Amino acid sequence: MKTVVPSAERPDGYLTSAKRVAGWLRPAWLEVDLASVAANVAHIARTVAPARVCAIVKADGYGHGAVRVAYAAVEGGASYLGVALAEEGHELRQAGLDVPVLILSEPPPEAMQMVVEDHLTATIYTVRGFSALLEAARAARPDGGGRAAAGPVPVHLKLDSGMHRVGADEGTFVELAAAVAGQPELFLEGAFTHLAVADEPGNAYTGEQLRRFEAALARLDGEGTKPRLLHAANSAGALCHPEARYAMVRPGIAMYGISPGPLVAGHAAVAALRPVLSLKAQVSLAKEVEAGERVSYGLRYELAQRSVVATVPLGYADGVPRRLYEAGGEVLVGGRRCPIAGTVTMDQIMVDCGPGAVVRAGDEVVLIGRQGDEEVTAWEWARRLGTIAYEVTCGLSPRLPRIYV
């Protein structure tokens, strides 16, 4: 990822547009509003208090840039960070973030050394994972060259309460708790589960999952094992299900200012979130094209009348799905909605700006975000494409520079 160089700090004669990134000349970019990230995390923290916030920054911060977003989340009140991979945790440590970092799925055995060396918090739900982590922790003891001052490795156990993706069944959950508690190299800090339908407020399955979680916790308590940090709530759980908050919540999509789902978009706590990401570009070429002419690969878009067609330099290699045209995708030019004209190509799209439109090379085009009184959201893309907003933002390519506002 390129580092933003503020225009005021650039040498004379360099491209000074705030829309450019040092070393990047193609006019297409993502703008990420870090103040809104911090504000969203602060809002979530107020909503769920006294529970603490574990800000989820996996998948490069849902496409927003993990490191910069993580710093903003901590500024907003997050006391924990969540990632999917040991490598993602390593990136945060290399960037100087020293808050606890939870790996949300059990790392493979070959990753456990990185977990220990980077002082990450491991999730465990199999005997294999437990054994691998214990081996790595023992290898890092003072006599093995390593971890003395940092103390035991913190562990969170994950229960499969009904989503059936990852997690231990109740019996294994209880056995692993006793095994972790019996090893001085490990520290049983937390226990958690994951909710499958928290974004469906009327679905009783969320309550059933919490009941199963409580039953497993009761068995731990009965055997004298009681992790202090319990958590179950994702974004929808945190904002819409107070009974799921426990000691910590794990907001992901909400901290990026995006509703966890259409059915909870009107919830007051969700509606208060601030948008974070905008996808923008500049027109690279504009020309008038005669009525009856066809545009782009396959010649599927026919102009009903003479119109101004603008070429915009980003395409499916940047995360603009090829079928967005077929789904009726629109962009904003001059504060107006304009249809994508023809098939999205690898590096460019064409836009039908309408008859007589005053559009020139260099004009701003907004694919996601606000321009004037109009707005295109990630959920609008998702609805058109039959997917979810999470996939839209995670699909935005690393070759798009991120500009942090």
Question: Any idea which residues carry the catalytic annotation?
Answer: 58, 297
Fill in the DSSP letter of residue 244.
G
Whole-angstrom CA distances from 259 to 193, 197, 271, 388 are 21, 14, 8, 10
* Residue 222 CB-density burial (10 A; 0-12 exposed, 13-18 middle, 19+ buried): exposed
Residues 6+ apart with CB under 8 A from 271: 265
**C-beta separation of 195 from 236 below 8 A:** yes
Buried b (16+ CB within 10 A) or exposed e, 163-186: eeeebbebebbbebbebbbebebb
Rg (CA), the chain: 24
DSSP-assigned states of every residue in 31-67: EE-HHHHHHHHHHHHHHHTTSEEEEE-HHHHHTT-HH
**C-beta separation of 312 from 281 below 8 A:** yes
Beta strands in 348-405 (DSSP E): 349-354, 364-371, 374-376, 402-404
Neighbours of 318 (CB within 10 A): 25
Crossing angle of helices 86-94/66-76, nearest 10°?
A: 70
Q: In angstroms, rounded to a whole number, what is the distance separating the alpha carbons of residues 397 and 262?
A: 25
Amino acid at 316: Y
Whole-angstrom CA distances from 220 to 157, 195, 210, 286, 299 are 11, 20, 15, 67, 64
CA atoms within 13 A on the CB side of 348: 15
Which long-range contacts link 285-292 to residues 24+ away (Cβ below 8 Å)? 285/310, 285/311, 285/361, 286/310, 286/311, 286/353, 286/359, 286/360, 286/361, 286/363
Helix, strand, coil share of the chain (percent; to 5): 35, 25, 40
**C-beta separation of 286 from 310 below 8 A:** yes
Beta strands in 162-209 (DSSP E): 186-192
